Chains A and B, each alone.
Chain A
Amino acid sequence: MKILVTVKRVIDYNVKARVKADNSDVDLANTKMALNPFCEIAVEEAIRLKESGAATEVVVVSIGPKACQEQIRTSLALGADRGIQIETDTMPESLNAAKLLAKVVEAEQPGLIIMGKQAIDSDNNQTGQMLAALLDMPQGTFASKVELIGEKVHVTREVDGGLQTIALNMPAIVTTDLRLNEPRYASLPNIMKAKRKPLVVQTPVDLGVEMKTHTQLVKVEAPTERQAGIKVNSIEELIEKLQNEAKVI
């Protein structure tokens, strides 16, 4: 079975995003970029399935400008077999991303598609579900456990009340939650080897996808800043302030 994994290049999760002075967007110039943490977990899960013998090949796909090849190479260094970059000038809306990925899925025919549950920049939590809808495939979102049992994939999902386990016919789409696994680090020899692994570049035109504009970003603002308050010296003082000043208890 072939596994397809999608990865996104995003701002490093430790970096605090700054809004541009003209409120047009977030300023990403000279900002440290990295592999989206949820995508890293998706890559790790795919590699573990390959190591267990359940999968034969791991293909990694990323959409974006040339710079996202760096994140594909990172995934190859972690153990993926080959990469596909879908070249776009800017990051497409989720639905357009899903349409591009659907074409790749149709061409590659993977048995399982593993994606992160959300990107930490747009915080949309949409692409996996949209891709599943476009391909009419079942979905296992927010996965904390993935098991291949017979012809099906059993996915334990993190839901608001606790955990839920569902069985999906394959091919299926799984989106990862943080607790699914602990991603490994790439070793230097593997980073060197990754440079020689195949990476093909495609465009939306090659894939025959027309990118429609569904939303317009009107403005991006910094959130209202919270001011640091005061330090109290004792529990008595804290209780007194909460009762009399803040009046919350």
Chain B
Amino acid sequence: MAILIIAEHDNAVLKAATLNTITAASQMGDECHLLVAGSSCSAVAEQGSKVAGVTKVLLADNTVYEYQLAENISKLVTELAPNYTHIVSAATTTGKNFMPRVAALLDVAQISDIIKVESENKFKRPIYAGNAIATVESLDNIKVITVRGTAFSAATTLDSNASIENLNIVHDAQMSQFISEEVAVSERPELTAAKVIISGGRGMGNGENFALLENVADKLGAAVGASRAAVDAGFVPNDMQVGQTGKIVAPDLYIAVGISGAIQHLAGMKDSKIIVAINKDEDAPIFQVADYGLVADLFEVLPELTDKL
């Protein structure tokens, strides 16, 4: 029996989170099939076929899967599921959206956001905003699992190709329609994949001041993040939010500027290798997790940091 991994993509490019998911899935069993469901997405299947650990690619290419609407994709995955012991996807907004639907249709539990594979049926996952780590054993025949990307390394690319099998399964539930999307544009690295992240909080004062962080980010090749307070205050768009309710990151270097360090925020970044905190309040909780802390006014030190890098 094999493992089914559902690829995350935008119909042109396989998303990096899928590579981390493949690594996690490879720890559950040897044979891993990658399902690419989308519209005009054969390029994604090609990319998937070159990833180490993938033994077969299943391509479901149909307009009904273009936006990966949960109602349609969950039925496709459910139909394939009886051939698999594990159904695995990245714990991104896409995976979180359709996977529980798959689990319910199969009458099995879902184990969300795993950070470690203990055995083929035992997994570790954070609960209570990362303040506790639960080891959970699945008693179901088919295990439906979402993977926290930052907890696993990315699978590498090979010279060889796994075979690609075309699926002719079309599920159109016809109860939801895509209307529009608003994609945030950035030339900087993607937040969840960046080696260095500099984030701003309420202390930034306003959205214009984020330019100070962008200057530092440009010098370091870093991504720019934000705390929930900064997003709620309207300084920056929500897809920059790091935390329990935003993105979970674990870069080599995380620089928190004007961020107090609430539980909600720490849940999203405390697995970073090195944490730097710049804050004028020396009692801010962020200093309790920071490897290097600088008590200073961010408006004075950020330009200085940009100059000296």
Contacts and interface: CB of A to CB of B under 8 A. Distances in A.
B67 to A, nearest CB: 7
A94 B127 contact: no
Nearest to B97: A141
Contact of A121 (B102, B128, B293): B128
B93 A160 contact: yes
Interface string A114-126: 0001101111111
A170 B102 CA distance: 21
A248 B111 CA distance: 34
Contacts of B245: 117-118, 177-178
B21 to A, nearest CB: 14
Contact of B274 (A121, A220, A232, A248): A248
B168 interface: no
Contacts of B304: 235
Contacts of A19: 132
Interface stretch (B50-58, B68-76, B152-160): B68-76
Nearest to B105: A133
Contacts of A142: 93, 96-97
B199 interface: no
Contact of B292 (A130, A168, A232): A232
B264 to A, nearest CB: 7
B237 A242 contact: no
Interface string B255-277: 00000000110000010011110
Interface of A: 11, 13-14, 16-17, 19, 26, 93-95, 98, 117-118, 120-134, 136-142, 144, 154, 157-169, 172, 177-179, 212-223, 226, 228-236, 238-239, 241-242, 246, 248-249
Enumerate the 8 nearest inter-chain pairs by beta-carbon distance, A residue then B residue, closest first.
A214-B109, A229-B291, A129-B100, A17-B128, A133-B104, A130-B104, A126-B100, A138-B175
